[in-house]
Amino acid sequence: MNKTYKKILTKSILFSLYSLFILNVSAKEGMWIPATLKAREADMKSMGLQIPVEQLFNDTGTGLNNAVVLFGKGCTGEIISPQGIVLTNHHCGYGTVQRLCGPGKDYFANGFAAKNKEEELPCAGLTVTFIRKMENITDKILFDVPDTLNDAARDTIVMNRIKMLETEYKKKTGLDATIKPYYQGNQYWILITETFKDIRLVLFPPNGIGNFGGDVENWVWPRHTGDFSVFRVYADKDNKPAEYNKDNVPYTAKQYFNINVSGYKEGDFTMVYGFPGTTDEYASAAKLKQVYSIYDPISIEARTIRLKIWMDNMTEKRDVFLQYTSKYAGVANGWKKWQGEVLGLKANNVTDKKNKYEIGFQNWANKYTKLPYAKNILPQINEQAKKVDSLIYLDQMNKETVMAIELIQQAAVLEKMRFCFRISKSDAELRDTLNKIATSTAGFYKNYDLKTDKKVFIKLMALYVKKCENKLPFYIQETFVHNILLADYKLSTKVTLKQVLGASTDKILEQACEVWANKIYDSSLLVSQERLNAFVAAITMADSTKMMADPAWKLYNEITTLTKQNIAPYLDYYYYNMRHLNRLYMKAQMEKETKKAFYPDANLTLRLSYGKVQGLKPENSKTYSYQTFLSDVIALDDSTSTIFKVPNKLKELYKTKNYGTWGQNGTIPVAFIASNHTSGGNSGSPVLNGKGELIGTNFDRAYEGTMSDYYFDMSRCRNISVDIRYTLFIIDKFCDAGWLIKEMNIKGIK
């Protein structure tokens, strides 16, 4: 481990273990529906809002909601020019850019910057979606629907009304219309949207900027990452959405963000406008216990193993790096976040606080006659949760171990092919159908390395067998335990599985799993595209048994069958019941606390949160900061590191102080933190000042504050953003793409 890595890892751990605090607490909990901001206006103005809330959201086309987009299927982006330039995070564009890479096109190592619009790269499958209008239609959905109506009957009524209203609004507006539930289904809003499908890559910094610090710095403060990328929306000649066409033109934006580069100071008002993904702020104590004692620990342990193997192989071979870098980022993001989540929930004693709240709720519910069902809600929630804890454990183990192995996942292809044999076809027709299925796997094999995956199999299956010894499926007991593990032990068949596993060290288990892996990876049809294609090319209607004999399919089939028969029905029933109980619980909480300003849990719809620029410091440190600089980045440079290696050009720009108009006191601001309530999906969100001007792009949260998906602690919860000046500096000076800046409206240049 190099010195820089050790230094940063130590810093990361300190930020993980020590309590964090702030001066002049001004964090603001809440992810507010933009159409309801009038109710928040007085509070927002008292904190520093300088514009009417109608400028943030309105239905006339003049609101800044028309400059915020759902980027892809899970990030946010912002329009920053009248010609449709979209700014979002580097990691939000990662998967798209990986698909654009190829021989001589390593955009992760070298970056990409178009010199003009003609060089912008089409991004197949990428979309951006605008929210043009939002309307509360709860009365149209829930009229004459009793709270306690069973969900089967309720769902039928609600879904029929949703379908009818969506059709009606589509005809009326000529746009897409989607109805979403809020407050656990106690409220419904319709979203009128417009989705553009011709999106092109404009600029992507190399990983030495856009992913600087990698997983070591992920989810911690301070951060030194230029986590941004630039795209452009294209439209047809009428400025309407259209599939990619070379004749399409840049989208003429109805609204775009003005950019302010005059800076900020601690205590300045900020807003984050975007699409937070999922939160569960009103969850019961029973649900939280499942999160930090079952879901998160299993995922953390299994992913630690998988990520280490991936990173070792990615570091060793550049080809493997390109195959796995996007997958790694996706898996690692949750892995690191859940570690902070568990730490934060425990450090804040959130379960104890929830239990205390629930005692008060129960005392109120026992006496409140207007909602007679309220007194039974929490007892039912607790009873239901206890019944499924063991099933949740097994299901999560299946997902994070066996079904996290790529070869086993890929066995779904054989399952799909197997169904084709049930339809009467000639051999030629069958081969044609199966060939299409085989051809569709090209994307998988392009980003698959057999040696890497085999190592993952050995480690994860050893973990699975060890952790699930009492509930191993029959196939695994027969194939692995009896035919491999017991054979190696040469013990009597009377020896119990528990005795064998109890006597087995981790090393012995892994050695046995290696034997198992050799059997599977030597013979499976799925180890390469070539082997799968060769099998399909010669297949006849009589060959279905060959697929069912495939060892990867057998393991896949055992786990999926176990899930379908013994896990999913019970968990589905549990989640079905909990949906009903959570809706009633949410309704009762709002009935109980009439003076509280409730906000709905995140559901990947447009929200606005607000707070202030606010720093953090570790308990046992004198270091307190709300901002990082290019000088900090340069200080971390390590030419031997894959994640702390600063590009030479960036070092030269720093050395010569060639900052253009973006510098501040002899350096460049890189990142800053504020007290806005954010979640997954807010990646790429615009961070605005009190005038609604862009000052940064949100990309992360502070480590212990990641529990804000369940509990918002004002002393710990912070969002982390790229300073817009660093973004413009990289575009202008590092990427030599000043032509893009000419499209933007920038204020505060000295």
CA dihedral in degrees (592, 595, 597, 601; nearest 10)? Answer: 0
SS3 472: coil
Residue of 12, 81, 90, 91 marked active site: 91
Task: Specify whether the CB–CB gap between 356 and 345 falls below 8 A.
Answer: no
Distance between CA atoms of residues 438 and 492, nearest Å: 44
**Residue (of 700, 604, 731) closest to 231 by Cα position:** 731
**CA dist list (Å): 393 to 283, 292, 396, 469:** 19, 12, 5, 13
Task: Specify whether the CB–CB gap between 337 and 678 falls below 8 A.
Answer: no
Computed from CA positions of residues 151, 157, 163, 169, in that sequence, does the dihedral angle turn out positive or negative?
Answer: negative
**Residue (of 749, 683, 707) closest to 272 by Cα position:** 683
Residue 741 bridge partners (DSSP): none
Tokens 């299946």 sit at which residue? 398
**Residue (of 256, 227, 223) closest to 93 by Cα position:** 227
Which segments of 518-623 are extended strands (E)? 607-612, 617-618
Going by C-beta distance under 8 Å and a sequence separation of 6 or more, which residues neighbour residue 599? 29, 30, 31, 32, 33, 281
Phi, psi torsion values for 344, nearest 5 degrees: -65, -40
Task: Specify whether the CB–CB gap between 179 and 188 falls below 8 A.
Answer: yes
Residue of 12, 299, 683, 721 marked active site: 683
Distance between CA atoms of residues 606 and 609, nearest Å: 10
Task: Specify whether the CB–CB gap between 410 and 552 falls below 8 A.
Answer: yes
Long-range contacts of range 386-391, CB-CB < 8 Å, 24 or more positions apart?
Answer: 386/286, 387/574, 388/570, 388/571, 388/574, 389/290, 389/294, 391/567, 391/570, 391/571, 391/574
Amino acid at position 293, single letter? S
For the chain, give the number of residues.
750
Distance between CA atoms of residues 430 and 416, nearest Å: 13
683 is catalytic: yes
**Residue (of 672, 675, 681, 671) closest to 607 by Cα position:** 681
**CA dist list (Å): 735 to 110, 136, 152, 500:** 10, 45, 57, 60
User: Which structure tokens are listed for 335?
Assistant: 């892995």
Going by C-beta distance under 8 Å and a sequence separation of 6 or more, which residues neighbour residue 695? 259, 260, 264, 270, 687, 688, 689, 723, 724
**Residue (of 193, 177, 196, 192) closest to 241 by Cα position:** 196
227 is catalytic: yes
Q: Report the DSSP pairing between strands 746-747 and 259-260.
A: parallel
SS3 154: helix
Distance between CA atoms of residues 193 and 129, nearest Å: 7
Residue of 227, 296, 453, 550 marked active site: 227
Q: What is the DSSP letter of 664?
A: B
SS3 721: strand
Which active-site residues does the annotation give? 91, 227, 683
